[in-house]
Amino acid sequence: MFFKGKIIWIVFAILCFLAFLSACGYRFAGGGTLPSGINSVSVKILENRTSEIGIENTFTNDLIYEFTRKGKIASIDKADASLSGVIQSMSIETISHSGVHTSLERRVTFTLDLKLTDNNGKIVWSKAVSGDEAYDVVSAKLSTEQNRRNAISTLSTRLAEKVYNSLTEDF
């Protein structure tokens, strides 16, 4: 009799736990749907207002990759909406140094203004997105430049994921 009562309590506890998980609204980031019934998006090449030549291609390609990965990309004539925007700013700052004039680590920061426009020209989503990434400064200038490019690439990938997740939050 004692054993049977214990099993009932264990089953009851498991059922309560499962009910709690299903009721708490937990889901993975970016697991929702695009706003306003949009199913597919075309990504227009971003406008570059920084001094970093060609960076618009890096950011645009990472956005296209992220939407392709999620199965939400389409050509401009078949998409329900288009994502466009501007790379507003890029800054580089020293975050650690070993002397007055010797940097050990720098941080690159980008700010993007993006908008999602439906086929009727209505803006259904608009947001400024920014992020930063640190990189090492070494004595060889070419290596430091490669570290900077790698940091920008990492940041671009992360911002593309952030944009997709922000678009599919389903508030």
On whether the CB atoms of residues 125 and 35 are closer than 8 A, the answer is yes
- CA 23 to mean position of chain CA atoms: 27
For residue 36, what pLDDT is reported?
Answer: 84
pLDDT at 170: 60
Residue 78 has a CB neighbour count (10 Å cut-off) of: 9
Quote the pLDDT of residue 18: 60
| Displacement of CA 94 from its chain's centroid (Å) | 24
> Which runs of E-coded beta strand occur in 58-122?
81-97, 103-118
34-167 CATH choice from 3.30.160.150, 1.10.510.10, 3.40.1360.10, 1.20.1250.20: 3.30.160.150
pLDDT computed for residue 101 by the predictor:
82
- Residue 153's SS3 state is helix
**H-state helical runs in 24-140:** 55-69
50: three-class secondary structure by DSSP = coil
pLDDT at residue number 21: 57
- Nearest CA to 72 out of 114, 36, 43, 115 is that of 43
Q: Tokens standing for 141?
A: 């200038």
Span between the terminal Cα atoms of the chain, in Å: 49
Assessment of whether the complete model's pTM goes beyond 0.85: no
**How high is the pLDDT of residue 7?**
73
pLDDT digits (tens, 9 = 90+) for 77-96: 999 999 999 999 999 999 99
Segment 89-117, tens digit of pLDDT: 999 999 998 888 889 999 999 999 999 99
Domain spans of the chain? 34-167
Per-run averaged pLDDT (10 residues), the chain, 171 residues: 64 66 51 84 97 96 96 92 97 91 94 96 96 96 97 98 89 46
Residue 20's pLDDT is what? 62
User: Tell me, what's the pLDDT at 89?
Assistant: 97
What distance in Å separates the CA atoms of residue 115 and residue 122, rounded to the nearest whole number? 10
Which helix (H) or strand (E) segment holds residue 14: the answer is helix 2-23
